[in-house]
Amino acid sequence: MNTLLLQISDPHFGAERKAVCDALRRLVQEQTPRVLLLSGDITQRARPAQFAAARAFVDSLRIPQCMTLPGNHDIPLFNAAVRLFAPYSAYRRAFGRSHDAVLDSDGLRLIGLDSTRRWRHVNGELSPDQIAATSRHLREAPVGVLRVVALHHPVAVTRAAEGHNRVRRHADAIDRWLQAGADLIVGGHIHLPSVRFLEAGGRHGWAVLAGTAVSRRTRHDAGNSVNLIRCAQVGLRRVGAVERWDYREEAKHFELAALSALPLSG
Ligand SMILES: [Fe+2]
Ligand SMILES: [Fe+2]
């Protein structure tokens, strides 16, 4: 397995737990992922000091390649002027860019999308142009690589009660992206990790959500966790593996809690 992607979602710097940050740094030292995906809600309130703390933490991980995506918490909530005219200014000062991007690494094409909207507050949206451009990037991916689309908001959830949290135009996105070759569509936002089967037009893929990595904003049934995503060639077939690593309060470190072996379409 040469693809190794670490997904850190919803760290909410400003509400981060120092012991969990330290444990995550140790996990990175042990697992040495090649690529970091930071899938939004990087901060709690989009304050410059919170972005600076997040940036310092990311730098301390020393992962060779990194993609960051904004979440709804990374846009100011209360400052209406900044929200309207420069909603991503603090984000950009820390992380450089907030728009859609493509990252190629050994065995991986990662396509990142900004699903936040300054006028939609908590909820996310995909534009028809984003859906179409992502389909193109998927079709143009090198042969045999793991094709991953990432956005902060979920395209699919495992609990019906969470359905309202799905990104706007999620059904169209799933349909078009699977047919264009997507293997995984990854996100966060609801702080509830899950893996869900997707199917469209004779192809299949998987919706993968990560929990909140290091924040105090955990749910009663899901603590802090991150995902490690791998891809392997088994004979003629490609298999993806999503490892969920949970933070253990007693031991103060991350442990492998769930392993999903995911058959991929050809
Ligand atoms: Fe969040
Ligand atoms: Fe969010």
C-beta neighbour count of 15 within 10 angstroms: 18
Q: Across the chain, how many H-helices and E-strands are there?
A: 6, 12
Tell me: pLDDT of 1 over 60.
no
- Cα-based distances in Å from 79 to 20, 84, 93, 94, 122: 30, 9, 18, 19, 15
Ligand 1 center to residue 181 CA distance, Å? 28
Per-residue model confidence as pLDDT tens digits over 165-193: 999 999 999 999 999 999 999 999 999 99
Cα of 234 from ligand 1 centre, angstroms: 35
Looking at the CA of 43, name the nearest ligand: 1
Question: Based on the number of CB atoms within 10 Å of its own CB, is 92 exposed (0-12), middle (13-18) or buried (19 or more)?
Answer: middle
- Give yes or no for residue 160 having a pLDDT over 70: yes
Where b means 16+ CB within 10 Å and e means fewer, 33-54 reads bbbbbbbbbbbbbbeeebbebb
Q: Are 71 and 39 in contact (CB under 8 A)?
A: yes
77 versus 135: the higher-pLDDT residue is 135
- Rounded mean pLDDT, 47-75: 96
Domain 3-263 class in CATH: alpha beta
**What average pLDDT does the structure give for the chain?**
93
If one counts every other C-beta atom within 10 angstroms of the C-beta of residue 166, the result is: 22
Every domain of the chain and the residues it spans: 3-263
Q: Give the Å distance between the CA of 156 and the centre of ligand 1.
A: 16
pLDDT 10s digits, 198-257 = 999 899 999 999 999 999 999 888 999 999 999 887 777 888 999 999 999 999 999 999
CA of 230 to the centre of ligand 1 (A): 24
Is it the case that residue 2 has pLDDT exceeding 70? no
For residue 190, the CA-to-ligand 1 centroid distance in Å is 6
- Report the pLDDT value the prediction gives residue 122, as an integer from 0 to 100: 84
Question: How many Å apart are CA 131 and CA 232, to the nearest integer?
Answer: 27
